[in-house]
Structure 1
Amino acid sequence: MVSVDDVRAVLADLPRSYEVIVYDRVKFRVGQIVFVAFSRDETEIGFGFPKEERAALVASRPDTFFLPRPSDLRFNWVEAWLEALDPDEMRELVLDAWRMVVPKRVAAEYLGK
């Protein structure tokens, strides 16, 4: 099981990433782009994810992942139950979401690639 604090620990040192509170919801941004967000009760996490791959992700593990509300389907976004994620999986997902919104050079420098 993963908590909001576990996610914070992963995202704390990422270049250009910062935390905000919007309508009582914790969100992480790069510039004005939100790449990770939590539900108000902190049981769900939403994160940037390629639109063309999300249906396969949700279909592979519908007990963990689900589509965002219809108005958010236009975005590269998917959601998950925090309790269903393990720490390694969460780390990979949020780093990939961050990588989608920063310049490739910034991601490469940070990740050493």
Structure 2
Amino acid sequence: MTEAKDLERAFARIVQLVDQRGLPGVSRSSGASPALLVADSTLAELHDEAVLALACPRHQKVLLMDISPKVYFETEQQVGQNVVLVHLDKIDDEELSLRLHDAWEYVAPDNLRKYVD
């Protein structure tokens, strides 16, 4: 039961930050892992209560991992993919909010991007 509550709490944090940014077109996935989608593209997926997979262009992922390797990382599965993993216990809400915004801009279609500064 504790794991489920921890997962719910972690996902609620992600949802709250996205809501605070006012990012349009975001919906929740009905898949096995809690996830947020934008126009059927994955914005963020919670692997467990401590790790978030976040849409991210490869060049930006490399920079993030170089600058903050304790926060941003990848496993063999994400090598070459446009996804970066985030240690949620090592990132504050302000930075996570910015990364969620960046991820949204990366996956959102043009017709949604025009509504966000």
The interval holding the TM-score normalised by the smaller chain is 0.7 to 0.9
Q: Which residue of 2 aligns with 1:36?
A: 44
1:20 aligns with 2:29: yes
Indicate if the aligned counterparts of 2:36 and 2:43 stay in contact, CA closer than 8 A: yes
In structure 2, stretches of 5+ residues that fail to align are 1-8
Q: Following the alignment from structure 1 to structure 2, what is the Cα–Cα distance between the partners of residues 51 and 90?
A: 18
Taking structure 2 as the reference length, the TM-score comes to 0.79
Q: Following the alignment from structure 1 to structure 2, what is the Cα–Cα distance between the partners of residues 57 and 88?
A: 15
User: How big is the shift at 1:105?
Assistant: 4.3
Q: Which residue of 2 aligns with 1:64?
A: 71
Q: Following the alignment from structure 2 to structure 1, what is the Cα–Cα distance between the partners of residues 65 and 80?
A: 16
Q: Which residue of 1 aligns with 2:3?
A: none
State the Cα deviation string for residues 64-106 of structure 1 (Å, max 9, x = none): 1101x32333431101110111111011001110111112342
- Count residues with an aligned counterpart: 107
Q: 1:93 aligns with which of 83, 96, 99?
A: 99
User: How big is the shift at 1:108?
Assistant: 3.0
Q: Following the alignment from structure 2 to structure 1, what is the Cα–Cα distance between the partners of residues 15 and 45?
A: 11
Q: Following the alignment from structure 1 to structure 2, what is the Cα–Cα distance between the partners of residues 10 and 28?
A: 12
Identity across the alignment (%): 18
Give the 3-state SS of the residue equivalent to 1:22 in structure 2: coil
1:46 aligns with 2:53: yes
In structure 1, stretches of 5+ residues that fail to align are none
Indicate if the aligned counterparts of 2:45 and 2:52 stay in contact, CA closer than 8 A: yes
Which structure 1 residue ranges, 4+ long, deviate > 3 Å from structure 2? none
Q: Following the alignment from structure 1 to structure 2, what is the Cα–Cα distance between the partners of residues 21 and 104?
A: 25
Q: Which has the higher helix share?
A: 2
